[in-house]
């Protein structure tokens, strides 16, 4: 079987497999936010950035190549990942202590994983009103990281196209499929895949909050590294 | 703000029909739909979405991507001042302020009566005859206070653009130096006839012998691109001419399209002959929309002459035609995969590569994307042969290059040189003196200091898409870099984290320095951001965005250092500036309304 070297360790792969898929299959964690095993690579969050044959590439979107030397868990790459996480934190409004998603949030878990101790950069404090118009689901756009997983799930699996991105650059934002701009006026349902796929705390279910207490949530007892490798093995 | 009365749906339905309710024509539909009311009201987007069977959110996503599409009313006269650094050096800001004052309107807002709105826009490609503006898509150059007074009066009188003095809209070519391409006087069809006579294989062999490389900046071998597309399995192939000339300081494609459109279209047809393509697109940047009528006329003439359409030059099976697609104010669409997305009517987000356009391009078909100048040059190769073409220039850069020269010099305009010409020679020819720096290749290019003026224009030394902006000793290179950083932040598509947030952060740092709050720690952060943008960005926009800062920090560091207030750390937050809104609300701007003065009084 063909293989490449990830931080010096051989990783086998099949033709067409990405660096990230092959690595995770072999039990090596490369972080990601926008990547999902059931969808084609998106390549926007850039957390899976690795150095392959000396070049920076997205591990999720780059097919593995025989004999490549790939650097991932190096101080350099982890430093860049930490900076990318800091960027995601400052461009939105993330108040972990009061967030229903705390402990289940992949962004927060990655902040811990990559030892992000401060936000480093100045905060943007964008003005992003929440949308509570839907009977079952609340949208808190303050936490959006533009991974487009809800966009893709709704379009490709639910067959509804409830979500889309509009605007450009730092003004890019999520919109819903209604002239009023309100989720309540779309055909969105709490049973949609898009309702369960958000890696952060944008799409929240109404009803009892904090049903699972803080301290007993997905990433409270184990790191995102352990959890993701378990999920995918 | 007076809302415009709802217009009848008839024109919208007519244009939807004209586009065959085709979802891939969405951007063209939106551009034309906006002509009805001047902006795109929410119900219009809903109606378009229903008619072309796309989710409404997707239509809203596309409409929100392009700078020239508006989701709220704009003035009936929509004035956009070109805001390249060369326009700023010629005083565009003072002129814009003057026009705003005369028309009682604030920048970025619509006048109370809905008559006029005034704002800035990225470089409009009139750097050799700036300061420039666009009014309802028509370009006006050579602005001065007198012209601004006249424009204010015409707008106040609500005079239609057709009745404005025609000399306003006179755009000059300013061709100052001609070489092989600009000297060429070719009868339409002559190059095509020569290539057809050689056969498809023979023609491609000539292209290979010519060593022609892409003139858009990247310098990829054109014949290799063509051969890959020809060898791709899918039968329906496409040729795209990239006329999204958005790089600040570049305007050579505007001149080629204005005076040598036949060469450009003939080049596209030559590419089609080589790769076996049946459809072609000219992707014309929205800023050049005023060129469209004359370009359509050239296309019509070529169709009538049998140079486009079925059986070109009587050659059975040589079927090819060209359609013009408009952009709408998005620099990133100059990136070839973003351009293809835009051509398909989507947001201009660069694709993941591979696959490359030569195998999976427009609508998944093998597609050749070439720059305007590259395509025009192929006519020379068809007429004179590949070996003759390869004889000029340098070892790795065959042929000539068109330079768009602007900034501090006596004779700005278009200069055509064989590759290998030195910066010093160019500066001498265009009458530049006391030159401090030259920005070659636009905002994404390289900033050269005086000690580098012996370097040469060539892919192996100083590569360029054609921009050449000159800054004399009176200019502040920090201001130049800051203008380019603003440009990239405005033009980032926002797809990937490093570019979306990084360009905005970089802009913040440059503004902090400019506002007098910079410290050494900021320079270290700027360095770090530069590296991250370069390494981690999804496309060339993000990785080129820090170039102006990297170069000027290295070569003109004092311009940064004299802005630092303390050596270590200084917060970006300015308490007095934060009171600006309160001052505006209370209509106060006296010394007592300012914090620092107040404190000093107290002492």
ipTM: 0.97
Q: Based on the domain organization, do B151 and B202 belong to the same domain?
A: no
Taking only the tens place, the pLDDT of each residue in B359-393 is 999 999 999 999 999 999 999 999 999 999 999 99
The answer to whether position B16 is within a domain reads yes
Taking the C-alpha atoms of residue B211 and residue B213, their distance in angstroms, rounded to an integer, is 6
Instruction: List Cβ neighbours of B498 (8 Å cut-off, separation of 6 or more).
Output: A46, A84, A87, B532, B533, B535, B536, B537, B538, B542
Provide the residue range defining the domain that includes B337: 176-390
H/E segment holding residue A57: strand A55-58
Taking only the tens place, the pLDDT of each residue in B159-193 is 999 999 999 999 999 999 999 999 999 999 999 99
A175 - beta bridge partners?
Answer: A164
Q: What is the mean pLDDT of residues A157-184?
A: 97
H/E segment holding residue A24: helix A19-25
* CATH (domain of B163): 3.40.30.10
Tally of domains within chain B: 6
Q: Do the chains contact at B46 and A167, CB–CB below 8 Å?
A: no
Q: CB–CB of A82/A195 below 8 Å?
A: no
Q: CB–CB of B498/B537 below 8 Å?
A: yes
Taking only the tens place, the pLDDT of each residue in B68-84 is 999 999 999 999 999 99
Q: What is the 3-state secondary structure (H, E, C) of B161-178?
A: HHHCCHHHHCCCCCEEEC
Taking the C-alpha atoms of residue B23 and residue A85, their distance in angstroms, rounded to an integer, is 36
Q: What is the mean pLDDT of residues A29-56?
A: 96
Q: Give φ, ψ of B548 to 5 degrees.
A: -60, -35
The answer to whether position B151 is within a domain reads yes
Tell me: pLDDT of B1 over 70: no
Q: Based on the domain organization, do B323 and B428 belong to the same domain?
A: no
Taking the C-alpha atoms of residue B405 and residue B421, their distance in angstroms, rounded to an integer, is 14
Q: Based on the domain organization, do B309 and B273 belong to the same domain?
A: yes
pLDDT at A209: 86
Measured between CA atoms, how close is A169 to chain B, in angstroms? Answer: 4
Taking only the tens place, the pLDDT of each residue in B407-465 is 999 999 999 999 999 999 999 999 999 999 999 999 999 999 999 999 999 999 999 99
Tell me: pLDDT of B571 over 90: no
pLDDT at B344: 98
CATH topology of domain A3-73: Ubiquitin-like (UB roll) (3.10.20)
Q: Do the chains contact at B500 and A121, CB–CB below 8 Å?
A: no
Instruction: List Cβ neighbours of B388 (8 Å cut-off, separation of 6 or more).
Output: none
Q: CB–CB of A131/A202 below 8 Å?
A: no
Q: Based on the domain organization, do B197 and B54 belong to the same domain?
A: no
Q: Do the chains contact at B63 and A43, CB–CB below 8 Å?
A: no
Q: Give φ, ψ of B33 to 5 degrees.
A: -65, -30
Which pair of tokens denotes residue B240?
């795209």
Q: How would residue B593 be classed by pLDDT, with cut points 50, 70 and 90?
A: confident
Residue found by looking up tokens 């003057």 in the block: B98
Taking only the tens place, the pLDDT of each residue in B519-548 is 888 999 999 999 999 999 999 999 999 999
Tell me which residue in B58, B62, B496 faces A44 most closely, judged by beta carbons: B496
Q: How would residue A41 be classed by pLDDT, with cut points 50, 70 and 90?
A: very high
Query: DSSP class of residue B123?
Result: -
pLDDT at B602: 46
Tell me: pLDDT of B601 over 70: no
pLDDT at B591: 85
pLDDT at B578: 86
Q: What is the mean pLDDT of residues B302-318?
A: 96
Tell me which residue in A49, A168, A179 faces B42 most closely, judged by beta carbons: A179
Tell me: pLDDT of B596 over 80: no
Instruction: List Cβ neighbours of B206 (8 Å cut-off, separation of 6 or more).
Output: B195, B198, B381, B382, B385, B386
Tell me: pLDDT of B4 over 80: no
The answer to whether position B357 is within a domain reads yes
Q: CB–CB of B342/B283 below 8 Å?
A: yes
Q: How would residue A163 be classed by pLDDT, with cut points 50, 70 and 90?
A: very high
- Range with the poorest average pLDDT among B170-174, B473-477, B596-600: B596-600
Boundary residue ending a domain (B473, B497, B518): B473
pLDDT at B176: 98
Q: CB–CB of B439/B480 below 8 Å?
A: yes
Exposed/middle/buried for residue B509 (C-beta within 10 Å: 0-12, 13-18, 19+): buried
Taking the C-alpha atoms of residue A72 and residue A62, their distance in angstroms, rounded to an integer, is 14
Tell me: pLDDT of B597 over 70: no
pLDDT at B2: 45
Taking the C-alpha atoms of residue B352 and residue B360, their distance in angstroms, rounded to an integer, is 11
Q: Do the chains contact at B65 and A169, CB–CB below 8 Å?
A: no
Q: What is the mean pLDDT of residues A47-62?
A: 96
Domain map of chain A by residue range?
A: 3-73, 98-221
The answer to whether position B5 is within a domain reads no
Q: How would residue B297 be classed by pLDDT, with cut points 50, 70 and 90?
A: very high
Tell me which residue in B64, B501, B572 faces A170 most closely, judged by beta carbons: B501
Which pair of tokens denotes residue A107?
């962004």
Taking the C-alpha atoms of residue A59 and residue A226, their distance in angstroms, rounded to an integer, is 19
Q: Based on the domain organization, do B213 and B236 belong to the same domain?
A: yes
CA angle B402, B487, B215 (to 5 degrees): 20
Chain B residues with CB under 8 Å of a chain A CB are 42-43, 45-46, 55-58, 60-67, 330, 347, 352, 354, 489-498, 500-505, 508, 525, 528, 532, 535-536, 538, 572
Taking only the tens place, the pLDDT of each residue in B15-45 is 999 999 999 999 999 999 999 999 999 999 9
The answer to whether position B71 is within a domain reads no
Q: Do the chains contact at B494 and A146, CB–CB below 8 Å?
A: yes
Which pair of tokens denotes residue B106?
């604030």
* CATH (domain of B224): 3.40.50.11540
pLDDT at A161: 96
Tell me: pLDDT of B600 over 70: no
Tell me the C-alpha to C-alpha distance, in Å, between residue B412 and each of B168, B255, B427, B548. Answer: 19, 13, 10, 22
Q: Do the chains contact at A168 and B45, CB–CB below 8 Å?
A: no
Using DSSP bridges, classify how beta strands B435-440 and B467-472 pair: parallel, antiparallel or unpaired. antiparallel
Taking the C-alpha atoms of residue B222 and residue B459, their distance in angstroms, rounded to an integer, is 14
Q: Based on the domain organization, do B599 and B457 belong to the same domain?
A: no
The answer to whether position B3 is within a domain reads no
Contacts of A41 in chain B (CB under 8 A): 352
B257 - beta bridge partners?
Answer: none
Exposed/middle/buried for residue A172 (C-beta within 10 Å: 0-12, 13-18, 19+): buried
Percent of chain A with pLDDT over 70: 100
Percent of chain A with pLDDT over 90: 96
Q: Based on the domain organization, do B153 and B40 belong to the same domain?
A: no
Tell me: pLDDT of B6 over 80: no
Taking Cα atoms as reference points, which of B436, B405, B445 lies closest to residue B551?
Answer: B445
CATH topology of domain A98-221: Alpha-Beta Plaits (3.30.70)
DSSP class per residue in B196-262:
HHHHHHHHHHHHHHHT-B-TTSS--BHHHHHHHHHHSS-S-EEEEEEE---STT--HHHHHHHH-HH
Taking only the tens place, the pLDDT of each residue in B240-281 is 999 999 999 999 999 999 999 999 999 999 999 999 999 999
Q: Based on the domain organization, do B338 and B431 belong to the same domain?
A: no
pLDDT at B603: 45
Tell me which residue in A166, A169, A179 faces B493 most closely, judged by beta carbons: A169
């Amino acid at each position: 079987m063909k293989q490449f070297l990830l931080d010096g360790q051989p990783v086998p792969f099949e033709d067409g497999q990405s660096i990230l898929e092959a690595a995770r299959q072999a039990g090596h964690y490369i972080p990601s936010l926008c990547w999902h095993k059931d969808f084609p690579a998106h390549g926007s969050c850039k957390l899976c950035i690795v150095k392959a044959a000396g070049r920076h590439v997205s591990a999720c979107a780059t097919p593995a190549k025989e004999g490549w030397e790939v650097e991932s868990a190096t101080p350099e790459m982890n430093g860049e990942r930490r900076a990318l996480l800091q960027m995601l934190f400052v461009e939105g409004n993330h108040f972990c202590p009061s967030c229903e998603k705390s402990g289940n949030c992949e962004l927060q878990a990655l902040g811990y994983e990559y030892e992000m101790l401060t936000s480093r950069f100045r905060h943007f404090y964008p003005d992003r009103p929440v949308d509570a118009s839907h009977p079952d689901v609340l949208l808190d756009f303050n936490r959006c990281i533009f991974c487009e997983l809800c966009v893709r799930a709704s379009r490709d699996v639910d067959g509804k196209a409830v979500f889309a991105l509009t605007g450009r650059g730092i003004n890019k934002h999520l919109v819903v499929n209604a002239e009023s701009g309100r989720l309540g006026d779309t055909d969105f349902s709490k049973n949609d895949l898009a309702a369960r796929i958000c890696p952060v705390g944008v799409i929240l279910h109404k009803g009892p909050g904090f049903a699972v207490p803080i301290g007993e949530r997905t990433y409270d007892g184990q790191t995102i590294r352990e959890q993701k490798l378990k999920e995918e093995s | 703000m007076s809302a415009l009365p709802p217009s009848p749906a008839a024109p919208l339905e007519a244009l939807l029909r004209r586009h065959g309710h085709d979802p891939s024509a969405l951007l063209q539909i939106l551009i034309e739909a906006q002509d009805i009311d001047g902006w795109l009201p929410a119900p219009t987007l809903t109606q378009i979405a229903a008619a072309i069977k796309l989710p409404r959110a997707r239509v809203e996503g596309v409409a929100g991507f392009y700078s020239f599409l508006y989701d709220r009313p704009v003035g009936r006269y929509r004035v956009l001042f070109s805001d390249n650094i060369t326009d700023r050096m010629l005083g565009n800001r003072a002129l814009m302020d003057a026009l705003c004052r005369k028309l009682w309107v604030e920048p970025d807002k619509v006048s109370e009566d809905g008559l006029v709105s005034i704002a800035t826009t990225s470089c409009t490609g009139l750097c050799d005859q700036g300061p420039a503006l666009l009014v309802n898509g028509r370009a006006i150059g050579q602005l001065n206070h007198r012209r601004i007074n006249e424009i204010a009066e015409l707008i106040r009188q609500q005079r239609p653009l057709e009745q404005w003095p025609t000399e306003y809209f006179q755009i000059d070519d300013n061709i100052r130096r001609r070489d092989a391409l600009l000297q060429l006087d070719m009868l339409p069809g002559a190059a095509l006839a020569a290539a057809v006579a050689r056969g498809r294989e023979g023609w491609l062999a000539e292209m290979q012998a010519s060593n022609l490389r892409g003139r858009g900046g990247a310098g990829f071998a054109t014949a290799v691109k063509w051969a890959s597309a020809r060898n791709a399995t899918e039968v329906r192939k496409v040729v795209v001419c990239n006329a999204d000339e958005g790089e600040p300081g570049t305007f050579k494609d505007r001149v080629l399209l204005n005076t040598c459109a036949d060469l450009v279209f003939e080049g596209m047809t030559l590419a089609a002959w080589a790769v076996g393509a049946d459809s072609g697109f000219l992707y014309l940047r929205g800023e050049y929309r005023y060129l469209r009528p004359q370009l359509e006329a050239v296309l019509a003439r070529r169709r009538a002459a049998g140079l486009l359409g079925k059986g070109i030059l009587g050659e059975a099976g040589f079927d090819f035609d060209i359609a013009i697609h408009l952009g709408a104010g998005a620099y990133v669409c100059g990136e070839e995969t973003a351009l293809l997305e835009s051509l398909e009517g989507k947001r201009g987000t660069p694709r993941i590569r591979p696959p490359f356009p030569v195998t999976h391009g427009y609508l998944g078909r093998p597609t050749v994307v070439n720059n305007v100048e590259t395509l025009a040059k192929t006519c020379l190769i068809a007429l004179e042969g590949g070996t003759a073409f390869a004889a000029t220039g340098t070892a790795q850069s065959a042929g000539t290059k068109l330079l768009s020269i602007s900034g501090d010099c006596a004779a700005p305009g278009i200069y055509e040189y064989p590759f290998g010409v030195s910066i010093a020679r160019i500066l001498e020819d265009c009458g530049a003196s006391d030159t401090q720096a030259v920005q070659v290749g636009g905002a994404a290019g390289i900033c050269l200091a005086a000690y580098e003026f012996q370097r040469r224009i060539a892919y192996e030394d100083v590569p360029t898409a054609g921009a050449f902006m000159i800054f004399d000793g009176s200019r502040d290179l920090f201001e130049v870099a800051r203008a380019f950083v603003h440009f990239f932040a405005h033009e980032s598509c926002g797809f990937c984290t490093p570019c979306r947030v990084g360009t905005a952060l970089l802009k913040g740092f440059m503004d902090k320095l400019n506002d007098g709050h910079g410290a050494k720690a900021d320079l270290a952060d700027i360095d770090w951001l530069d590296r991250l943008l370069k390494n981690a960005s999804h496309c060339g926009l993000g990785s080129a965005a820090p170039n102006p800062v990297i170069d000027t920090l290295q070569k003109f560091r004092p311009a940064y250092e004299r802005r630092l207030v303390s050596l270590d750390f200084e917060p970006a937050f300015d308490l007095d500036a934060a009171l600006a809104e309160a001052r505006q609300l209370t209509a106060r701007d006296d010394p007592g309304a300012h914090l620092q003065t107040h404190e000093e009084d107290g002492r």
